[in-house]
Amino acid sequence: MKYKNVNDYEQLYLISENDEEANRIMYEKYKPIIYSFAYQYYKIVKKYDVDVEELVQEGYIGLSNAINKYKDNTDANFYTFATVCIERSIQSFCRKYKTIKAKKLSNKISIDSDDEILNIELREDETTDVNPNAYLEKKNYNDMLINFKHSLSNRASMVFELRYNGFNNKEICSLLDLSYPMIEKCVREIKEKGVNYLNK
């Protein structure tokens, strides 16, 4: 089954009707995104003996939160909302784990002020139960990104969203089931339109 063709909103409705299969399908569809974020942050916190599967589980928790909290009247589409929830969940775990681990190892290692983990843009408040949509609403540039995304063709729009969320061209080929030259063409379109958009 090609999960990229799954309609998120149909699955959300079925999940609200307690359809376990729909829930499984959503988890399979977002699995590549969860693993992408997990490996991205694993590179940063692996020195604290974090297992990448721990980050994956946090990603699934983020997806579960997105499914439970998403409302149709939100300004963000579900894909955007879900990716924010997934990344926030992994970021929150990294921050807390890093703090706890640093205290335990304080007599063995020194944490430099330019430690890479400190440079992560943590997109959440201190409490983890804040609706991630509040983050989206607070960021002025989010409106700009959405408007730019909507100015692109449907295919380029999907490529832009995946590139923005850290996927490389090869990963996007797999996710969208498109050829590498087609992905490169979309990236060129994004860059050309981006220059014009910023110069308006």
Residues 90-108: pLDDT tens digits? 988 887 766 655 444 443 3
4 and 80 together in one domain: yes
148 and 190 together in one domain: yes
Residue 133 has pLDDT above 60, yes or no: no
67-71, 141-145, 180-184: segment of lowest average pLDDT:
141-145
Among 73, 105, 129, the domain-final residue is 129
Q: Residue 19: which pLDDT band, with cuts at 50, 70 and 90?
A: very high
CA 91 vs CA 45, 106, 143: distances in Å = 10, 22, 23
Tally of residues, the chain = 200
Residue reference for tokens 């977002």: 30
104 and 179 together in one domain: no
Q: Pick 3 or 105 by higher pLDDT.
A: 3
125 and 148 together in one domain: no
134 domain-assigned: no
Q: What is the pTM of this model?
A: 0.52
CATH number for the domain that contains residue 143: 1.10.10
Helix (H) or strand (E) holding 116: none
33-37, 42-46, 111-115: segment of lowest average pLDDT:
111-115
52 and 121 together in one domain: yes
16 and 104 together in one domain: yes
Q: Residue 3: which pLDDT band, with cuts at 50, 70 and 90?
A: confident
Domain count, the chain: 2
53 and 123 together in one domain: yes
Q: What count of other Cβ atoms lies within 10 Å of the Cβ of residue 152? A: 19
Residue 165 has pLDDT above 50, yes or no: yes
Mean pLDDT of the chain: 75
Among 75, 109, 129, the domain-final residue is 129
101 and 154 together in one domain: no
Residues 178 and 147 sit within 8 Å (Cβ to Cβ): no
Structure confidence at residue 77 (pLDDT): 85
144 and 49 together in one domain: no
18 domain-assigned: yes
Structure confidence at residue 189 (pLDDT): 85
160-173 burial: b if 16+ Cβ within 10 Å, else e = bbbbebebeeebbb
* Torsion region of 101: left, alpha or beta (phi above 0 gives left; psi -120 to 50 gives alpha): alpha
Among 110, 129, 148, the domain-final residue is 129
Residue reference for tokens 């509040």: 134
Q: Domain of 153?
A: 139-200
Residue 109 has pLDDT above 90, yes or no: no
Structure confidence at residue 76 (pLDDT): 72
Q: Return the structure tokens found at 102.
A: 């640093």
Q: How far apart are CA 67 and CA 80, in angstroms?
A: 12
Structure confidence at residue 176 (pLDDT): 76
Structure confidence at residue 101 (pLDDT): 52
Q: How far apart are CA 5 and CA 1, in angstroms?
A: 9
116 and 18 together in one domain: yes
146 and 119 together in one domain: no
Structure confidence at residue 26 (pLDDT): 93
